[in-house]
Amino acid sequence: MEFQNTEAFARSLDREDPLAPFREEFLFPQEGGKDVIYFTGNSLGLQPRGARAAVDEVMQDWEALAVEGHFKADRPWWTYHEALRAPMAAIVGAMPEEVTVMNTLTVNLHLLMVSFYRPRGKRVKILCEEKAFPSDQYMLKSQLRFHGLDPAEALVEVRKRPGEHHWRTPDVLEAIAQHKDELALVLMGGVNYYNGQVFDMESITRAAQDAGAAVGWDLAHAAGNVPLKLHEWGVDFAAWCTYKYLNSGPGNASGVFIHQRHLGREDLPRFEGWWGTRRETRFLMEPEFDAAPCADAWQLSNPPILSLAPLLASLKLFEQVGMEALQAKSRKLTAYLEFILKEVDREVDSTFEIITPPARGCQLSVFLHGEGRPLFDYLMAQGVIADWREPNVIRLAPAPFYCSFVDMYRFGQILKTGIQAKGKG
């Protein structure tokens, strides 16, 4: 399709968009009486309209039933998390029994490493990408120190080539091959938070497992954003937050994937708690742990129902739309945003550099050469909620559930005006 940088063209794309009505299912902050242009679904998704009713339902059951809400609520709390399995599994390409929801992301990655990071002999190293999300870096280094290892020697960080802004798959595979006899675990971000790059998870998983290492993925920026086939790819484990593209609310619960081949394994250690026992025996309070036959075996405590309620409301929307339709719109919407950026770049004779490679989801990270924080502040003042990252990058994530093509056009006009105003000043 040949794009045009006009409001009329953007409106025509919105009229043709089968997902356009779902914009009304979300609540937007307001600026000057208008919906903001929201580009930060990669940090916190907008609130689904159904979230409040889902929470109110739990509150009403708590009021009317108190502790009996665990069993007598219309949606009993003791099995509440089970309603999340199938829709979450569909989003990440898993079987329902391979998925559970518990805790928060870094907590879950630590717990999963109890099972899947088992350093023995000279096979002690962990491989990740350089400058992974800081929480992942802290986690990996602390795990290595916990096992008495020096992160400077045992953490392998795959670097970008000089002068480049993204990683090359052959470089990741070469690093795996180079350290194959010493590698215990590969744990990377499926989508890099900074540049928006989608890693070749299938190829990297296969190469790492062929080298004898376990493979896990932090899918914080991938779940609900890009195609995932965790079961088919044979990934050992994964975890993701749900408050970004899955719109569950600030700091909400984390999803977990554990491949079917690991379920029921008695030789696989894990930290255990009573909510990881079989549903049928959970309230017998037996002294010995009776593991659930699914990913629930990794749960520790009963889940936070008030947190799961808005997540359930959001997942109902994903069930209605399906990931294939969301990703189709995402590709088109992101391509239109890229077109708009290049048009503005040409019209104002500025220098934007999109550092996100073609392997991407809905995020574009843009170097504003010659511009700086004042331009970002101007955009925010005009109702464009984007994300600033040092030294000079704006992250733009047009989430397909609620962003429109007109949003992309309006953003371009605001960006152009901001640059021109600076020149006149």
Q: What CATH number did the domain enclosing 163 receive?
A: 3.40.640.10
The DSSP element (H or E) to which 10 belongs, if any, is: helix 7-16
Same domain, yes or no: 400 and 259: no
Question: For residues 64-101, b (16+ Cβ closer than 10 Å) or e, as one string?
Answer: eeeeebbeebebbbbebbbbbbebbbbbbbbbbbbbbb
- Going by C-alpha positions, the residue among 126, 78, 85, 82 that lies closest to residue 258 is 85
**SS3 for 350?**
coil
| Calpha distance 392→255 (Å, rounded) | 32
- Going by C-alpha positions, the residue among 192, 253, 245 that lies closest to residue 402 is 245
pLDDT the model gives residue 322: 97
Residue 135: exposure state from Cβ atoms within 10 A (0-12, 13-18, ≥19): middle
**SS3 for 358?**
coil
pLDDT the model gives residue 252: 97
Residue 415: which CATH number?
Answer: 3.90.1150.10
pLDDT the model gives residue 351: 74
DSSP 244: S
Same domain, yes or no: 163 and 302: yes
Is 186 contained in some domain? yes
Is 2 contained in some domain? no
Is 296 contained in some domain? yes
**Which residue do the tokens 């400058």 mark?**
131
Same domain, yes or no: 330 and 302: no
The vertex-405 CA angle with 336 and 340, nearest 5°, equals 35
pLDDT the model gives residue 421: 82
Same domain, yes or no: 247 and 156: yes
pLDDT the model gives residue 230: 98
pLDDT the model gives residue 371: 76
Same domain, yes or no: 100 and 220: yes
Domain boundary, last residue among 305, 321, 337: 321
Same domain, yes or no: 134 and 262: yes
Alpha helices in 66-222 (DSSP H): 69-72, 85-92, 105-116, 134-146, 151-154, 169-178, 201-210
Q: Which two tokens stand for residue 313?
A: 């409301």
Number of structural domains in the chain:
2
Domain of residue 153: give its range: 52-321
For residues 132 and 188, the answer to whether their CB atoms sit within 8 Å is yes
For residues 240 and 230, the answer to whether their CB atoms sit within 8 Å is no
The vertex-67 CA angle with 61 and 73, nearest 5°, equals 35
| Calpha distance 246→220 (Å, rounded) | 10
Give the Å distances, CA to CA, from 167 to 65, 164, 415: 54, 8, 29
Same domain, yes or no: 150 and 210: yes
Domain boundary, last residue among 275, 303, 321: 321
For residues 45 and 397, the answer to whether their CB atoms sit within 8 Å is no
Is 1 contained in some domain? no
Same domain, yes or no: 93 and 42: no
Give the Å distances, CA to CA, from 35 to 18, 28, 46, 301, 402: 21, 6, 12, 39, 11
Q: Which two tokens stand for residue 235?
A: 């990934």
The vertex-189 CA angle with 221 and 326, nearest 5°, equals 30
Same domain, yes or no: 80 and 128: yes
pLDDT the model gives residue 234: 98
**SS3 for 298?**
helix
Same domain, yes or no: 41 and 184: no
| Calpha distance 146→186 (Å, rounded) | 18
| Calpha distance 4→248 (Å, rounded) | 35
pLDDT the model gives residue 392: 87
| Calpha distance 384→410 (Å, rounded) | 9
Beta pairing partners, 258: 237
pLDDT the model gives residue 423: 56
| Calpha distance 390→40 (Å, rounded) | 16
| Calpha distance 175→127 (Å, rounded) | 8
| Calpha distance 259→231 (Å, rounded) | 6
Domain boundary, last residue among 278, 301, 321: 321
For residues 255 and 223, the answer to whether their CB atoms sit within 8 Å is yes
Low-confidence ranges of the chain (pLDDT < 50): 425
